[in-house]
Structure 1
Amino acid sequence: MTALQPQTVPVPVLDADLDFLDIVTEWDTTTAFHKWRPSIVVPATFRSANTPRTIVVGNQKGGVGKTITSLELAMAFAARGLRTRLIDADPQKAALTVWLRETCYPEVGPRHTLRDVFFGQATLAQATHPTIYRGLYFIPSDPDLSDVESANSSKVLSPETLLRDALRADTGEWDINLFDLGPNLDKISISALIAAQDLVIAIQDGGLEVEGTGNIITTVNSIKERMNPDLALRAIFFTDFKKDSLHRKIGQEMSKGFPDALIVPARESTNAGWSTLNKRPLRMYAPGDKPCLDYDRAAGLLISTDQKAG
C-alpha cells in the first residue's frame, strides 16, 4: 500500500426516517399503475452474505450506471464500518479513476495501478491507495490496462486467474473487494469474475441493456462450470429508475428470469449528475437523495454486518 494519508472524512450513516424504498418479495402487478410504488424485490430465497466478500459490478454495455453503482455501494459499505477496497477494472476511459482522482488519493510519489498488478510490477497491496473517506481504499485503472488483452504469456502469466490468485495472496484484511468492470468481457473482466463470489448488474433503459445482461449471464454460467462454482448473480440495479410502464415491465421480467437476485430500482435524480460533475460520491454530495437511499438499502441487504460492532 502506498504512503498513508489521514482518512479524515467520515462516511455518514443515513437517517432511518428518510424516504427509503419498501422491501417486497415481488412487485405488485394488480395495483393501478398510478398508485404503484417502486420497491426493492428481495426473493424469499435470498440471504445476506458474510464478509470477506468479492463483488463485481458489470454489464456488456457502457453508460448504464456501473460506475455510480460501484462507488455508492462502496460508500455504503464503508459507512457500515466495512473496510472496503474499490478496484477500477475498466481500461477504456478509467471513469472511476478520473472521478476519484481529485478527492480520494494524493498526487504524491509513484502510484501503482491495476495494470502493474497484471504485469507483475506491483502487488495488490502496493497498488492500493487510501482515500480521504474512512474505510474506503482504491486501486486505480490506467489507459494502458488494455495492454493485458494483447500481452503474451511471458509478460502476463495466466491472466484469467491472476486476480483470484492475487487476492488469495493479499495481506490486507479487507471486508469487501469491489470491482467496477468495463463494458467488454475481456481478460480483465473474466479475471475479476473468476475471483468473485457476487455479480451485480447495472442496467438503465431496457432494450440493449437487457440484451447485454443476457450476454454476461451466459459468460457467468460458463465461468461457474469451469472455474468458479461460487459465482452468483446477486442483484440487478435499474439506474436512473423512472416510474413508468416500461421500467415496471422490465423489472417484472428480470424478477422472473433471475428469481434469486435482488431487483433494485435506484431512483433518478438530478443530483447524481451534479455529484459526478463535482467529482464527489453522491453520498457526500446529497446524502438524503433517493438513489443514495436505494444504494444504501441494497448494500445492507447484500452484506450482513451482524459481525461488525458499531
Structure 2
Amino acid sequence: MRIAVTGSSGLIGSALCASLEGDGHDVVRVVRSGGRPGTVRWDIDAGTVDATGLEGLDGVVHLAGEGIASGRFSEDHKRAVLESRTKGTALLSRTLAELDARPPVLLSGSAIGYYGDRGDEELVETSPPGEGFLPEVCVAWERETSAAEAAGVRVAHLRTGVVLSADGGALGKQLLPFKLGLGGKAGKGDQWLPWISLEDHVRAMRFLLTADVQGPVNLTAPNPVRNVEFVRTLGAVLGRPTVIPIPGFARKLPLGVGPLVDNLLFSSSRVLPQVLTDAGFTWHHDQLEDALRSLLDRPAA
C-alpha cells in the first residue's frame, strides 16, 4: 500500500511509519518543510498542500496537532491546540475531496477527551460528548472531516486513549519519579484510565486501513483501570513503592497548570472499544500488567 501520514515525527506517527515500512509499504510523510524524497509539503496557516503528491494513495492517517501537554494551559495554548487540529483537518479533508484519484480511507485523529469527565459511566462510540474544553475540541476536530466524507472517502475518527510507551507519552513522563519511589495515586485514585499499548494502537490503525469501519473508533484496551490500580501495577512491575499521592488540590494550581493536571490525571473516563471489538480486532495487550511488563522489559518472576 501507499499511505500518507501527517504527524509522522510524533510518538504514534513514527511508530506507525516504522511498522508500515517494515512490512514493505510506501509511506508518504506530510510535513511542514518538504522537498525530501517520500514527503509532501503542507502549510496549515497558509492553507496550502502539495496535492499532486497525494494522488492515488491507498489511505491517509492524519495524526498532526499541537500537543496537549506541550505548554502551559493558557488561552494561547488552548487556541493553538484547537486550531492546529481543526485547521489542519479541514485543509487535508478539502484537499483529499478535490483529488482526481481520492484515497478510499482517511483515519483522522481524535481523543477520548471527547467524553470528558464522566465518573463510572461506561462510554462507547455512541455516547454523547462531555462538557468542557477538550470535548469541545474533539467535537470540532471530528466535524472538519466532512468534505472528505461527502466526497465518498471512508472516514474513521481515532479516539485515542492514554498510549503506553517507554519512549514517551504519559508513561514515559512517569517512569523516573516511579523508579525513584515517588509515584502515587492522583487524589482518591478512583478515576478511570483508558489505556492502550503503543503496539496495539499501531496495529489498530493498520487494521482500520482495510476494515469496513467508519465513524468514531475508541482506540483503547478493553480493560480500563482505575488510577490507583494503574499506580499499584506500575509500582509492582518496577519493584518500587507507590505511597506519595498527588493531592487533589493540584487540580487548582495557578499559572495555567491546574486545568491540564485536572484533564490528564483527575478526569475519569471509562471508555470501552466497542467498535474495534465488534469488528474482530484482537489485542496483543489487553491486561495492564502484561502490557507494562512487555513495554518495560520486566518479565514476571
Could you state the TM-score of these two structures normalised by the residue count of structure 2? 0.31
Structure of greater relative contact order (alpha carbons < 8 Å, 6+ residues apart): 1
